[in-house]
Amino acid sequence: MPIFFQHQINENTRLGVWKIEETEEFFKGNVPLHREVTHPHKRLQHLAGRFLLQFLFPDFPYQLIEIADTRKPFLPDEQYHFSISHCGDFAAAIVSNNKRVGIDIEIPVEKIGRIMYKYLSAKEHELFNLIPGGENNTAEMNYDEPTLLWSAKEAVFKWYGNGGVDFRRQIQLLKQHEGTETIDCFFSKDESELTIHYRQFEGLVLAWVIS
């Protein structure tokens, strides 16, 4: 049971990261497949994400999951709010019985640094001490910080769930607090102030939002 990271946020909300070492058969015996996934590794990621939901809350009703037009999975009666993410050999999920949630997991890669001008505003470049300029400046960059900021915005996007978000303009990252591993955020689409939580592991970034 390779649970890589588990966090009981409070009595209502739990989070888990699974390192996928099992075969597809293991998950298939436990979880229904909810959408056609052609690529074998993506299918494994999808199954592992679903598996985590019941790992976190054993009474999680997989069979009731529906998929919105935005592709966000949800439970119609909102018995649980949940969010799933996968990357490489990792799957992450957060489940709450009373709050909306969003989660994202990323492996830092050069590409995220190369496109950061697309998802970070000039003000954010300044606030987080990043050098703007796209492709030319990435040769000696450390991708951990741009990946963290990207992951933070993806978590907000998933928490919101209705799609149509301008990452650069509408998800405004304001301040990073390294001590508490949080980032203050203003989401202008619905005028909410959010706290994004994060963890940085060796070669892996995790971000989540509960509100």
Ligand X SMILES: CC(C)(COP(=O)(O)OP(=O)(O)OC[C@H]1O[C@@H](n2cnc3c(N)ncnc32)[C@H](O)[C@@H]1OP(=O)(O)O)[C@@H](O)C(=O)NCCC(=O)NCCS
Subset of residues 172 to 191 that bind ligand X, contact rule: CB under 6 A: none
Q: Check: CB of residue 170 under 8 Å from CB of residue 189.
A: yes
Give the integer Cα–Cα distance in Å for 209 and 207.
7
Among 71, 136, 140, 179, binds ligand X (CB under 6 A): 71
**Residue 158 contacts ligand X per CB under 6 A:** yes
Subset of residues 115 to 134 that bind ligand X, contact rule: CB under 6 A: 118-119
Instruction: Count other Cβ atoms within 10 Å, centred on residue 193.
Output: 10
What is the chain's length?
Answer: 211
What are the CA-CA distances from residue 15 to residues 122, 160, 207 (Å)? Answer: 33, 18, 11
Nearer to ligand X, 16 or 161 (CB): 161
**Residue 154 contacts ligand X per CB under 6 A:** yes
Backbone angles phi, psi at 41, to 5 degrees: -70, -35
Interacting stretch for ligand X, rule CB under 6 A, among 20-28, 125-133, 150-158, 196-204? Answer: 150-158
Nearer to ligand X, 172 or 177 (CB): 172
**Residue 167 contacts ligand X per CB under 6 A:** yes
Burial class (CB in 10 A: 0-12, 13-18, 19+), 58: exposed
With H, G, I as helix, E, B as strand and everything else as coil, classify residue 201: strand
In angstroms, give the least distance from the CB of 179 to ligand X. 27
Nearer to ligand X, 70 or 98 (CB): 70
With H, G, I as helix, E, B as strand and everything else as coil, classify residue 31: coil
Residues 19-48: x where in contact with ligand X by CB under 6 A, - otherwise, as a string: ---------------------------x--
CA proximity to 15, closest of 97, 105, 103, 93: 93
**Residue 85 contacts ligand X per CB under 6 A:** yes
**Residue 86 contacts ligand X per CB under 6 A:** yes
Among 131, 163, 169, 203, binds ligand X (CB under 6 A): 163
Give the integer Cα–Cα distance in Å for 21 and 99.
31
- The binding site for ligand X (CB under 6 A) comprises 46, 49, 70-73, 83-86, 104, 118-119, 154, 157-158, 161, 163, 165, 167
